[in-house]
């Protein structure tokens, strides 16, 4: 028996049309570093997205599912591209501007990007790459920046266009195609920390359903009364789905553009009064140091979604004192990224909520999860049995982009035989569905046949009042196979020594897990998306570049 319901495709186009009409007065505010930010209503964003689609199709000849790349900061023009490109049937390809040059070149070639939208301030990054991007035929430049070097590098092979001039005379109407909801809408590449980057292609359907879940009360729960400070880059898993989700519900967006340092972020929070924000822990650690040294009013920002890496409990406690509640989330490029959020169950006191808040959170409807043991056996959700997290659902990848005209790729180390995504994260799940990650499978320390969680050691160390950051990696040990090496960044004026740091850990970590090897570093190396880059620390150790003290 079939239902009697209408079969209307779930597409990005419908999100765009809803946002620009029903929530047309909501705003995207772009920080400019000047006295007044740039403001555009959703209605204006929608009209400009419509004209951009016409320019891409009629002016630049973009047809079908061709890839249109963006090398842009978080700003209103990037939001316009977010909607114009998928809605016209093309594929939005956001480029991670923090990747090494050789990876960016590889990614653009692999995706066969033909058109590239770029902010003028990023031309110094693009220009040296352009001669190595044979598929790129058009470069569209938005905002301030010296075009001279670009024109010279482009030569006759690439046409250069001004964004505003390109869309200025285009019609404010567009014959939006009726798309298959399973068609490609956007794509992101993983950061390629091991091997070549891998392309994840999101469908219109997956984006639509993911946007609905982002807006659920058990997730971010935002409404048109909110303003979200979107610090997480638009090239990082679609800015965690916020641009699409906000157009569904009319949430105002505050976009920082290139002003991502702690001081301008503190200023825009105080001036623009956002109620919500989203970024990785390193952003909030930097902001905390800034407002500690130079107090600012953060009282409007009641809620913060924090993800991309484990959130140290000490950071949560520090922001609690400022009246800002950090809510940890877990996800990855392959999960769109919403996988869990650590909203505690109802009816608990603040003290009773704490054990839930320091987890990665609970799985929402739409994300199925299981834990696989070393032998592939499925483990119980008892809060004790640790295994690799595997997930599946309508916004979770089932394969990687294989390249133009190539079949999708499903590596055995990334997908189980029955199609579940192998996340590479090791953890436990409580009986009521709260996930606690203990480590990445590649980062867990295997000492004498037992596992030591590098994340637990890092969180405990970062609770020390004189420690700014800490990263722990496994290093070879003749007796135990592997032992932890603790690298710490001390706060200015700190006097703590290794013995006192080890003593500080003693009451929080089992004695056999305490590190013997210690080193101070100026800064913990980060990946392009702000995670600790532990392979760099391991290389430093192997090459003898660290001044290691053994206790």
Please identify every residue annotated as catalytic.
190, 334, 446, 451
Nearest to 330 by CA among 290, 389, 386: 389
Helices (H), 94-161: 101-111, 123-126, 148-154
Whether 266 and 311 have beta carbons less than 8 Å apart is answered as no
Question: Rounded to the nearest 5 degrees, what angle is found at the Cα of 76, between the Cα atoms of 75 and 80?
Answer: 125
Q: Beta strand 115-119 with 67-71: parallel, antiparallel or unpaired?
A: parallel
Instruction: Indicate if the alpha-carbon torsion angle 302, 305, 306, 312 is positive or negative.
Output: positive
Q: Beta strand 325-330 with 340-341: parallel, antiparallel or unpaired?
A: antiparallel
Task: Please give the span between the terminal C-alpha atoms of the chain, in angstroms, as a whole number.
Answer: 71
Cβ contacts of residue 218 below 8 Å, gap of 6+?
341, 343, 362, 364
d(CA 475, CA 454): 12
A 10 A CB-CB count for 508 gives 13
d(CA 471, CA 461): 9
Radius of gyration from C-alpha coordinates of the chain: 24
Which H or E run includes 3? none
Q: What are phi and psi of 248, to 5 degrees?
A: -70, -35
Please list the residues that pair with 161 across neighbouring strands. Answer: 140
Helices (H), 23-72: 42-54
Nearest to 488 by CA among 509, 513, 467: 467
Nearest to 277 by CA among 240, 228, 225, 340: 228
Q: What are phi and psi of 243, to 5 degrees?
A: -60, -40
d(CA 148, CA 368): 52
d(CA 315, CA 405): 47
Task: Specify the DSSP class assigned to residue 59.
Answer: I
Cβ contacts of residue 532 below 8 Å, gap of 6+?
309, 458, 471, 524, 525, 526
Buried b (16+ CB within 10 A) or exposed e, 363-384: bbebbebbbbeeeeeebebeee
Instruction: Indicate if the alpha-carbon torsion angle 387, 393, 398, 404 is positive or negative.
Output: negative
Whether 421 and 448 have beta carbons less than 8 Å apart is answered as no
């Amino acid at each position: 028996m079939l239902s009697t319901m209408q079969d209307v495709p779930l597409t990005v186009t419908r999100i765009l049309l809803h946002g620009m009409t029903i929530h047309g007065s909501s705003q995207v505010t772009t920080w400019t570093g000047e006295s007044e930010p740039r403001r555009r209503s959703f209605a204006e964003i929608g009209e400009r997205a419509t004209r951009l689609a016409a320019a891409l199709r009629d002016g630049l000849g973009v047809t079908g599912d061709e890839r249109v790349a963006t090398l842009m900061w978080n700003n209103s023009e990037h939001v316009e591209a977010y909607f114009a490109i998928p809605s016209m049937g093309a594929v939005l390809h956001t480029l991670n501007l923090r990747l090494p040059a050789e990876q960016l070149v590889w990614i653009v070639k692999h995706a066969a990007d033909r058109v590239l939208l770029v902010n003028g301030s990023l031309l110094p990054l693009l220009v040296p790459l352009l001669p190595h991007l044979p598929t790129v035929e058009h470069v569209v430049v938005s905002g301030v920046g010296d075009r001279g070097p670009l024109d010279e590098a482009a030569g006759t092979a690439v046409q250069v266009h001004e964004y505003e001039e390109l869309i200025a005379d285009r019609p404010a109407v567009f014959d939006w195609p009726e798309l298959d909801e399973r068609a490609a809408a956007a794509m992101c590449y993983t950061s390629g920390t091991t091997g070549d980057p891998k392309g994840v292609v999101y469908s219109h359907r997956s984006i639509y359903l993911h946007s609905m879940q982002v807006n659920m009360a058990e997730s971010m729960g935002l409404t048109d009364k909110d303003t979200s400070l979107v610090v997480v880059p638009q090239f990082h898993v679609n800015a965690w789905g916020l641009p699409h989700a906000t157009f569904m519900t009319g949430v105002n967006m505050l976009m920082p553009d290139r002003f991502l340092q702690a001081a301008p972020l503190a200023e825009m929070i105080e001036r623009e009064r956002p109620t919500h924000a989203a970024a990785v822990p390193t952003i909030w650690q930097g902001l905390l140091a800034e407002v500690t040294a130079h107090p600012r009013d953060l009282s409007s920002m009641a809620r913060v979604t924090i993800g991309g890496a484990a959130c140290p409990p000490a950071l949560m406690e520090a922001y609690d004192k400022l009246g800002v509640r950090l809510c940890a989330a877990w996800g990855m490029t392959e999960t769109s990224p919403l996988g869990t959020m650590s909203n505690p169950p109802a009816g608990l006191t603040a003290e009773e909520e704490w054990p839930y808040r320091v987890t990665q959170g609970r799985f929402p409807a739409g994300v199925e999860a299981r834990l696989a043991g070393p032998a592939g056996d499925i483990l119980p959700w008892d809060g004790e049995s640790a295994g690799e997290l595997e997930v599946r659902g309508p916004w979770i990848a089932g394969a990687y982009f294989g390249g133009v005209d190539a079949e999708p790729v499903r590596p055995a180390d990334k997908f189980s035989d029955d199609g579940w995504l192998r996340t590479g994260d090791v953890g436990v799940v409580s009986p009521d569905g709260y996930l606690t990650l203990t480590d990445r499978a590649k980062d867990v320390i295997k000492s004498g046949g037992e596992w030591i969680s590098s994340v637990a050691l890092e969180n405990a160390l970062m609770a020390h009042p004189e420690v700014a950051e800490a990263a722990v990696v496994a290093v070879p040990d003749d007796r135990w196979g592997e032992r932890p090496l603790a690298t710490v960044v001390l706060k200015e004026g700190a006097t703590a020594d290794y013995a006192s740091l080890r003593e500080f850990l003693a009451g929080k970590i089992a004695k056999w897990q305490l590190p013997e090897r210690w080193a101070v570093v100026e800064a913990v190396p980060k990946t392009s998306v702000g995670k600790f880059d532990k392979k760099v620390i391991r290389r430093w150790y192997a090459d003898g570049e660290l001044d290691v003290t053994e206790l």
